[in-house]
Chains A and B, each alone.
Chain A
Amino acid sequence: DTGVSQDPRHKITKRGQNVTFRCDPISEHNRLYWYRQTLGQGPEFLTYFQNEAQLEKSRLLSDRFSAERPKGSFSTLEIQRTEQGDSAMYLCASSLGEGSIQYFGAGTRLSVL
């Protein structure tokens, strides 16, 4: 499978714990995006990388959230001191260039108890 892959698929954690998600984009894609989707809503943009540079961050991305793409390939999204409001599906997408189609991974569903 050469699509976007995300790991883990599901994560259950207790409030206050830290969690980290991983995204592996389509191999030749230099752009990588993180979105968050809550039940009944469309995905909301969190942040975007071009190669290893983080070029845009949403105001939704509080100080507890950090994303990296150290070698311009896979990316990680870390949430520190999780809160119940962080419960959502975290989607990763990648694309080849500006304005090109974004392809999504299956997402990581986070449940904060």
Chain B
Amino acid sequence: EDKVVQSPLSLVVHEGDTVTLNCSYEVTNFRSLLWYKQEKKAPTFLFMLTSSGIEKKSGRLSSILDKKELFSILNITATQTGDSAIYLCAVVKAAGNKLTFGGGTRVLVKP
């Protein structure tokens, strides 16, 4: 059975800190891994990763995929209170369409 595990479950940091979120997966016929941010309702798209070792960046957020060790990390530097959210990792299989999500990491950034 396909499995996506995120760690830690939650963390609390102060503004300006750097956080690293982990996502490991066990999926047959892997196609891509996606990160989403969920603040109150809709998960909003952050990154899609398909190739190993290529870092994707968007402002203070970055992410990288390791297809050999079957994991991805999401980094947030210089955190702000607006980064407080649940961060979700999901994988898509080749010739498939559904997202299989991990349980999420809840991040709280204190001023």
Contacts and interface: CB of A to CB of B under 8 A. Distances in A.
A42 B44 CA distance: 13
Contacts of A40: 103-104
Contacts of A72: none
Given A99-B32, A99-B92, A101-B34, A45 B98 contact: yes
Contacts of B95: 98
Size bracket, chain B contacts: 20 to 34
A49 B108 CA distance: 36
A107 B41 contact: yes
Interface residues of A, number: 28
Interface in B83-111: 88, 90, 92, 95, 97-104
B48 interface: yes
Q: Which 6 pairs of residues, A with B, have the shortest CB-CB distance?
A: A42-B101, A106-B41, A45-B98, A104-B42, A106-B42, A104-B43
Given A44-B101, A101-B34, 17 more contacts: A41-B103, A45-B98, A45-B99, A48-B97, A48-B98, A56-B97, A91-B42, A99-B32, A99-B92, A101-B48, A102-B45, A102-B99, A104-B42, A104-B43, A104-B44, A106-B41, A107-B42
Interface of B: 4, 6, 31-32, 34, 36, 41-45, 48, 88, 90, 92, 95, 97-104
